[in-house]
Amino acid sequence: MPSSSSLIQGISISVSDDDETTGKVRVRVRRKRTRASASASARRRRLIFRTARLGVPLLLAALAVSLLLYESYRLTPSDSSTLPPPSFADFGLLSRAARAAGSPRKSCLKLLDPEKLQNLELPEIPETNMSIKEVVYRSSLHHIEDDIASHTESSRFNSFTGYQTLTEREESFKIKEGMTVHCGFCNESGGFRVSAVDREYMRYCKVVVATCAFGGGDDLHQPIGMTENSIRKVCYVAFWDEVTRASQEEEGNKIGGDNMIGLWRIILVSDLPFSDQRLNGKIPKLISHRLFPMARYSIWVDSKSQFRRDPLGVLEALLWRSNSSLALSEHGARSSLYDEAKAIVKKHKATPEEVKVQLDQYRLDGIPDEKRFNGKKALAEASVIVRDHAPSTNLFMCLWFNEVVRFTSRDQLSFPYVLRRLRPPGVHLFPVCARKDLVNSFGHRRKVKPLVKDAR
């Protein structure tokens, strides 16, 4: 049958005859079509958003529960352990201010108690069966075997150091009872001049705490923590040049009529042998036995640091107690000299070219890229050096100094090389925490002024 339609309130309703008979009305609503242009990427983004909205809270809740369970397990005493639970200080939760105010961190440098330090005496020189009996330093005489190539402008050897050839360098590592080596002061015109009065004072010293500041780089930090016994027996010596004296006088630190500033005896040095002030600083740092010919022990402290322990107590703790002859701190960041070389170049402390020359020679000499030597780090942090002045240690320091002159002035790079080549007994690499107990480090205050004159 034909269908009829009617319009009810704007809605089109189609009514068939069948519908009329059954009483049903079919309503057809025109729906708005969805866009077919919705991209698949948009649907994926919505799906990811919904997943993240639901999943992130669940993940955070799971991590929180896991952390709570871990902390609960860690703080619960074990049945098999007889030790007390750790304190808050062990977890390092106290701030620096709190530690400084009421609970300082526990020292890892075990010094004797004050009463024993006050009565501490230098031990008798032991009769040892050391393989090295004597070290002789080369005189100012010209060596006919000197390599002409070592006199080129690229070489930093001069009339102070002598002109060590590669052949002489190799011979210096062959241990004999009597060793003859380059070690600075090869002739009277070599430089590093001090007055006759200062020379006499240096000859008197048996135990020395030494530092230096050339080029006006750092302030003078007064030592603390020593006993009256050490004040009487120890020489505190600071080497300055005229630039440092002038800069310190501007700060109000004037040398007294007795050549003293506080506990430091100030020794003025003229005619410095190197244009590189870092190299000039290696003279009192590495070859102090050449400056203090009668001294039995010395402690080197970088100018950026304040020495804060009793010197005799430090000698007892780091040398005498362990039967050692040389003590330095382990490096805090690295273990391999090859890793140290990369850091030196990255921090622009030496040029890539001069570092490459040094590493090429070390590889040629068979030095492996290993992070351990005799069970410890081979890399040292040399801001504090504690040593005796026995022949074997003097030889070690001379060869270390020669490496610094021949290659880069970064002494941390050459220390592992000399250590592996000589393999001396009695080298004590103490932990970094002990070095922090020895000194307060203030960093370098100002830039060092370069030496005006050319190198010799």
pLDDT digits (tens, 9 = 90+) for 139-150: 645 554 444 444
pLDDT at 131: 84
Q: Does the structure show a pLDDT above 50 at 278?
A: yes
Q: Does the structure show a pLDDT above 80 at 394?
A: yes
The percent of residues above 90 in pLDDT, for the chain, comes to 59
pLDDT at 141: 53
pLDDT at 94: 32
What average pLDDT does this structure show over 12-33? 46
Q: Does the structure show a pLDDT above 80 at 360?
A: yes
More confident residue, 70 or 110: 110
Q: Kindly report the average pLDDT of the chain as a whole number.
A: 81
| Cα distances (angstroms) measured from residue 101 to each of 57, 96, 98, 224, 308 | 41, 8, 5, 19, 18
Q: Does the structure show a pLDDT above 70 at 88?
A: no
What average pLDDT does this structure show over 270-276? 93
What average pLDDT does this structure show over 249-277? 94
pLDDT at 63: 76
pLDDT at 329: 92
φ, ψ for residue 245, nearest 5 deg: -60, -45
What average pLDDT does this structure show over 292-317? 96
The percent of residues above 70 in pLDDT, for the chain, comes to 75
What average pLDDT does this structure show over 378-386? 92
Per-residue pLDDT band at 393 (split at 50, 70, 90): very high
Considering Cα of 283, then 286, then 290, then 294, what sign does the dihedral take?
positive
What average pLDDT does this structure show over 118-129? 81
pLDDT at 444: 63
pLDDT at 305: 93
What CATH number was assigned to the domain covering residues 132-441?
3.90.550
What average pLDDT does this structure show over 178-206? 91
What average pLDDT does this structure show over 323-339? 91
Q: Does the structure show a pLDDT above 70 at 229?
A: yes
More confident residue, 1 or 170: 170
Q: Does the structure show a pLDDT above 70 at 452?
A: no
More confident residue, 452 or 315: 315
User: What is the 3 state secondary structure string of the chain?
Assistant: CCCEEEEECCEEEEECHHHHHHCCCEECCCCCCCCCCCCHHHHHHHHHHHHHHHHHHHHHHHHHHHHHHHHHHHHCCCCCCCCCCCCHHHHCCCCHHHHHHCCCCCCCCCCCCHHHHHCCCCCCCCCCCCCCCEEEECCCCCCCCCCHHHHCCCCCCCCCCCCCCHHHHHHCCCCCCEEEECCCCCCCCCCCECCHHHHHHHHHCCEEEEEEECCCCCCCCCCCCCCHHHHHHEEEEEEECHHHHHHHHHCCCCCCCCCEECCEEEEECECCCCCCHHHHHHHHHHCHHHHCCCCCEEEEECCCEEECCCHHHHHHHHHHCCCCCEEEEECCCCCCHHHHHHHHHHCCCCCHHHHHHHHHHHHHCCCCCCCEECCEECCEEEEEEEEECCHHHHHHHHHHHHHHHHCCCCHHHHHHHHHHHHCCCCEEEECHHHHHHHEEECCCCCCCCCCCCCCC
Residue 157 CA, chain-centre distance (Å), reads 27
Contact 170, 417 (CB under 8 A): no
pLDDT at 130: 72
pLDDT at 271: 94
Q: Does the structure show a pLDDT above 60 at 19?
A: no
More confident residue, 187 or 159: 159
